[in-house]
Structure 1
Amino acid sequence: MIFVKIFFIFSIFAFSFQNKVKNYEKLDNIFLEKLNKLLDFCVINPETVDEGTILGILIAKGQIKYLKDAVDAEVLGRKIEDVLKEFERKSGGREVAPFFNSTLFEVNFPVIFGSLTKNHSQFKFTSIKSYVKLVNDDQNQPQGRNSDRCLNEIFKNNCKLSEKCLKIEDPNRKAFGYQLTHKLIYHFLGYIRCRNENFPAISHQICSQIHQESKFIHKVTNILSGSKDLFMEQIFLCSFVGFGEFLNNRWISDILDWQMKSGCFTYDGTNCSSHMNGLAAASLMYFGRLYDEHLF
């Protein structure tokens, strides 16, 4: 019954967007159509593609194997390879982080609805000002550069994780915003690379808090331009690891509307964001896959 209800709601949602989409090659899936348009933008404008974009495209490449339509897979796969080859040529073979590998993202978590913990204990803020203060509190939560070092450690030290990184990425340690989503990435890669058996419990804990933040961002901040990138990261990551609460029609509708006519994604309606393009590439492939499988 739950599955039928979800499928019915999403069918209405997807149909309502058909007239909004204008693409260079017509695909039958609203999400894949938008991904196709984004990839065209990246092919035509290679100067806008950076490592943030490429990581999202590699995630999309890892998920392409699950598409049911061989034509969709062929069209999108060809364009993905075009973007990757041009980036490699442009970068001159410069070394990238070891997790820039599409095979790491050939995962298929079951999508579960209704499992997240409500009213997470760390969710204390009630205003935009208090939320921004917590998100920017580098003194009491992991800093971005430390998180990056810990991500690299997973691959360079053959899963021998340092006490420092285990402390930094402790799911019980206070974190908000990007620090929290990066903590989820760390534990996800630890699960894929090192087979950390605690990942289901850890991801549940982290995404329960992220869900509270996502609801706050959408409802209270009305998704201010500076919050769009973070919001996209939250929605993609937690839905990708199987939490169906993030497959919220209204949230995803808003994300789709952030694509400009050129194909790129924007935080202010004017400027393209390379990082949002990467998040969009990963999200659209994943959402399109779920739509094909009637799981969305």
Structure 2
Amino acid sequence: MKRALIVAPQWIGDAVMTEPLLRRLAARGEQLTVGALPWVAPVYRAMPQVADVIEFPFAHGGLQWRERWRMASQIRGRFDVSYICPNSLKSALLPFLAGIPTRVGYVGEARFGLLTQRLKNPAKGQRPPMVAFYSALSGETDVAADRPQLQLAAQEVDAALRALNLTRLGYHVFAPGAEYGDAKRWPAAHFAALAEQLDLPVVLLGSGKEATLCAAIADPVNVQRPGHCINLAGKTTLVQALGVISACKSTVSNDSGLMHVAAGFGVAQVAIFGSSSPLHTPPLNALAKVVWLKSDADYQPPLMCAPCFQRVCPLGHTRCLNDVLPSRVRALLA
């Protein structure tokens, strides 16, 4: 059996989108160990095909030679092949230093000599679907139809719901954050207006950095409907957040990591895209509904500036998100 080390991306959404790659590798008999940063590792523990997860002790930024040498010495001789998902130089260093014989990745960031099997990056300006981009590392063709799949043990889900006083299918989840920037975030006032229209309670999920954003949604709603919005931003572990999403009635989110988590669990969801594109990072889920004014025939005149892929709207109006009305999203949740 071929022993494989997967070097994982550093973002939750990208981690979810690597699942079809791992499923392909496992199906052909490879034993999978994933090396991931701690805040991403729980996603890989929700993939049954992963035999083990190694949490990398690396901080964000910098090569951190000493830590990489130490980790390389610990894993030397354990693996036959490594699939390197990120395109960075530092992500390819560990498999090289560990002497893993076969190292597969995309050419990029002066790491040509660190890889033994190299895939060409898309042409400049092209943004292919990311699931297919990762799945191609398997060397197999016909990867476009893959859909990420996540799975949590029932006892993990039940434990999360008990700890947070929630019941299965008894709430909606809003994930109003987006790490990349404001041009990917539907306005807080729109989220609040939507929450007021829903019969079931709304659970707000996000990181500690998004607690203020979630409070701006929850607080005005709770004035009119006490306890209707439950702000859990920064108050859950990632495992708990996964459990909450897996057992919800539906989710509403921006193009974010938690959007891909909801897709991986196959829950009903509405995903709102602004500066980014659902052609590049769609929620691959049969129950997903996407709102993107760029391709909306009912939105006139057409929004020609999207997708700009900018953190902040370069035109100053962010119409791609501001013009998506709460009533439109509410209709999609029906």
TM-score by length of 2: 0.23
Q: Where is the helix percentage greater, Structure 1 or Structure 2?
A: 1
TM-score (norm 1): 0.25
Compare relative contact order (CA 8 Å, sep 6+) and give the higher one, 1 or 2. Answer: 1
